[in-house]
């Protein structure tokens, strides 16, 4: 039976195209691989590791990587998800591959925003195309905190690149990924001769990158120290006079509901790089605030309010090239809560369809998920449904019994936010099968069932004791509207077994009921037997 993949979800990827260690290259006439940094600008980068946003960790790692590379190396920068929310085409070559471009790349990475989706497959394709200009080797190191969210197949792309004849290798670092999620991106490395690394914190990320980076060009042997002639004493120059603050103002309501759009009247110098942002009360950082809008986009300015209620500050930021950013005007802003509700049963059977009613903003990207109690991650769980799909929503519950939470997740300017949770207990999956004890060779017969009924579950006829989810001789998927299926008996007489196989949205499978059946020559009346106990 095939495993049907769940919908790709949302979440971070930082891709660093970096050279292999020199020890792995030929010892004669080594060629420094061309490099491309493909930087994730998706909203999941606002997730934290040990209290530090992943985007800040990524910026530090990129700076460290560039500092340790050969200054003459050819490097470029691609970014995605940093300009528009919900747009899978938001991929931009920010710095063309060129020798000596490290400082330009560092500057551009530090001015990136993080708010979009994760088209990592297409970004890797763009990187490969940019590096295809010559036959020199190119290496990609993909550091990702999430999987593809734009309905593309990274494994198929890896096979395509490997077969293209380009000297191209990808290594993958799963930055806080589960084993299941890591398996969905590890193929990029496996198909191109690279390696997959698991990194659960900043130290793990640093260690993984250290194993894939080339050292900087060795320093030449120290020459004899020349005689030092004292430099003439120069008169101290006076400190430069700070630039005067130009006049600027903001005018906007003192409060706004979460996720709303705020209209802001602005006066000021309106430099090309100026913007307004919304930062938590008392915050003083620049270029790392998720809720912002460029003033060059038009006036009055329109800015998205964060999803998390609380006290904030609305600011006019002056950003002039070559100068430090400055606050020209500010006013307090109270972000008020929206109304959320979740309407569902307190318990549900594993593998069964489960109805959830909801109340919320129904913004683009909002979804409901079912996840283990206490789990803090905010990228989409394997069992999820976007609220745009209807109300109530119907989800297939996980097969593993235990304590879970139903959660309403909103896509705010600061990334994904858990707006509301409701406890849920998942009970073990159970099923029964009712069928004739004996059937004729190659005959068709009916099997009635009870248990979790959804179109991912199936009933099959297999050799006795078969523990695999393949090797069946006949099978039929369940129709939730009908409590029975029709199967065909094998032509060979003998003892066989009917099985009820359940599958959840995470791809987990479990045999929840079995029943013996015998194939004997001759016509056997299809007299149903008593139900078999679920297992």
Residue ranges per structural domain of the chain? 13-210, 249-336, 341-427, 432-519
Query: Would you state the structure tokens that stand for residue 144, as one six-digit string?
Result: 């990702």
Exposure string for 484-514, b = 16+ CB within 10 A, e = fewer: ebebebbeeeeebbbbbbbbbbeebbbbbbb
Q: Which residue has the higher pLDDT, 218 or 266?
A: 266
Q: Which residue has the higher pLDDT, 289 or 360?
A: 360
CATH of region 432-519: 2.60.40.1220
Q: Among 133-137, 174-178, 512-516, which stretch is predicted with the lowest mean pLDDT?
A: 133-137
Nearest alpha carbon to residue 517 among 492, 493, 498, 491: 498
Nearest alpha carbon to residue 93 among 37, 171, 147, 19: 37
| 151-155: average pLDDT | 82
pLDDT band, residue 236 (cuts 50/70/90):
low
- For residue 373, the number of C-alpha atoms closer than 13 Å in the C-beta half-sphere is 9
Amino acid 379: pLDDT = 59
Give the C-alpha separation, 90 to 77, whole Å. 14
Same fold, 13-210 and 432-519: no
pLDDT band, residue 4 (cuts 50/70/90):
very low
Dump pLDDT digits (tens) for 366-423: 889 998 998 876 655 555 688 988 999 999 999 999 999 999 998 777 778 889 999 9
Q: What share of the chain is helix, strand, coil (3-state, %, to 5)?
A: 15, 35, 50
Residue 27 pLDDT > 50: no
| 52-76: average pLDDT | 78
**What's the Cα-to-Cα distance from 368 to each of 172, 304, 402, rounded to whole Å?**
29, 22, 19
Distance of CA 324 to the CA centre of its chain: 33
Q: Among 107-116, 309-318, 463-472, 521-530, which stretch is predicted with the lowest mean pLDDT?
A: 521-530
Dump pLDDT digits (tens) for 186-226: 887 788 777 887 877 777 777 777 677 654 444 455 556 66
Q: Which fold has domain 341-427?
A: Immunoglobulin-like (2.60.40)
Q: Which pTM value belongs to this model?
A: 0.57
Q: Which residue has the higher pLDDT, 203 or 19?
A: 203
Residue 9 DSSP label: -
| 429-455: average pLDDT | 94
Amino acid 54: pLDDT = 75
E strand spans, 145-202: 168-175, 196-199
On average, the pLDDT of the chain sits at 80
Task: Identify whether the C-beta of residue 485 lies closer than 8 Å to the C-beta of residue 460.
Answer: no
Residue 436 pLDDT > 90: yes
Q: Among 257-261, 263-267, 504-508, which stretch is predicted with the lowest mean pLDDT?
A: 504-508
What whole-number percentage of the chain has pLDDT above 90? Answer: 36
Q: Which fold has domain 249-336?
A: Immunoglobulin-like (2.60.40)
Q: Which fold has domain 13-210?
A: Rossmann fold (3.40.50)
Residue 333 pLDDT > 90: yes
| 102-108: average pLDDT | 83
| 446-464: average pLDDT | 93
């Amino acid at each position: 039976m095939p495993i049907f993949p769940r919908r790709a979800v949302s979440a971070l990827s930082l891709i660093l195209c970096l050279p292999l260690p020199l020890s792995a290259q030929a010892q004669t006439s080594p060629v420094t691989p061309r490099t491309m940094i493909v930087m994730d600008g998706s909203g999941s980068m606002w997730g934290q590791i040990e209290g530090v946003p992943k985007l800040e960790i990524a910026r530090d790692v990129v700076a460290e990587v560039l500092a340790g590379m050969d200054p003459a190396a050819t490097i470029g920068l691609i970014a995605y998800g940093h300009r528009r929310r919900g747009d899978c085409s938001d991929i931009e070559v920010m710095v063309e591959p060129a020798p000596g471009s490290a400082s330009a790349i560092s500057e551009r990475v530090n001015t990136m925003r993080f708010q979009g989706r994760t088209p990592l497959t297409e970004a890797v394709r763009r990187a490969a195309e940019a590096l295809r200009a010559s036959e020199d080797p190119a290496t990609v190191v993909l550091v990702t905190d999430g999987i593809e969210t734009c309905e593309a197949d990274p494994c198929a792309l890896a096979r395509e690149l490997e077969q293209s004849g380009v000297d191209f290798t990808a290594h993958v670092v799963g930055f806080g990924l589960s084993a299941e999620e890591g398996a969905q991106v590890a193929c990029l490395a496996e198909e191109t001769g690279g390696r997959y690394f698991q990194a659960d914190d900043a130290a793990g990320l640093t260690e993984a990158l250290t194993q894939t980076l080339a050292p900087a060009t060795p320093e030449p042997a120290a020459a004899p120290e020349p005689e030092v002639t004292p430099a003439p004493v120069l008169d101290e120059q006076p400190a430069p006079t700070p630039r005067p603050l130009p006049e600027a103002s903001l005018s906007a309501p003192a409060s706004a509901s979460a996720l709303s759009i705020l209209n802001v009247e602005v006066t000021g110098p309106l430099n090309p790089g100026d913007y307004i942002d919304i930062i938590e009360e008392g915050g003083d950082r620049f270029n790392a605030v998720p809720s912002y809008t460029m003033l060059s986009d038009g006036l009055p300015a329109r800015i998205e309010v964060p999803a998390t209620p609380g006290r904030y500050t609305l600011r006019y930021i002056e950003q002039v090239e070559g100068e430090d950013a400055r606050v020209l005007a500010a006013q307090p802003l109270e972000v008020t809560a929206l109304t959320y509700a979740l309407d569902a049963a307190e318990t549900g059977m594993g593998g069964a369809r489960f109805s959830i009613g909801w109340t919320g903003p129904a913004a683009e990207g909002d979804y409901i998920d079912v996840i283990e109690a206490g789990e803090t991650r905010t990228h989409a769980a394997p069992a999820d449904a976007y609220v745009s799909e209807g109300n109530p929503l119907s989800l297939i519950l996980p097969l593993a019994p235990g304590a879970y939470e139903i959660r309403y997740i909103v896509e705010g300017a600061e990334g994904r936010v858990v707006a509301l949770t409701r406890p849920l207990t998942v009970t073990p999956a159970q099923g029964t099968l009712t069928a004739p004890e004996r059937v004729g060779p190659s005959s068709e017969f009916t099997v009635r069932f009870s248990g979790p009924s959804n179109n991912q579950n199936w009933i099959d006829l297999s050799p006795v004791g078969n523990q695999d989810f393949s090797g069946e001789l006949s099978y039929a998927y369940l129709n939730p509207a009908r409590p029975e299926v029709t199967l065909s008996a094998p032509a060979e007489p003998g003892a066989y077994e009917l099985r009820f196989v359940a599958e959840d949205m995470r791809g987990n499978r479990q045999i929840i009921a079995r029943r013996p059946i015998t194939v004997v020559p001759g016509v056997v009346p299809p007299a149903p037997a008593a139900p078999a106990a679920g297992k």
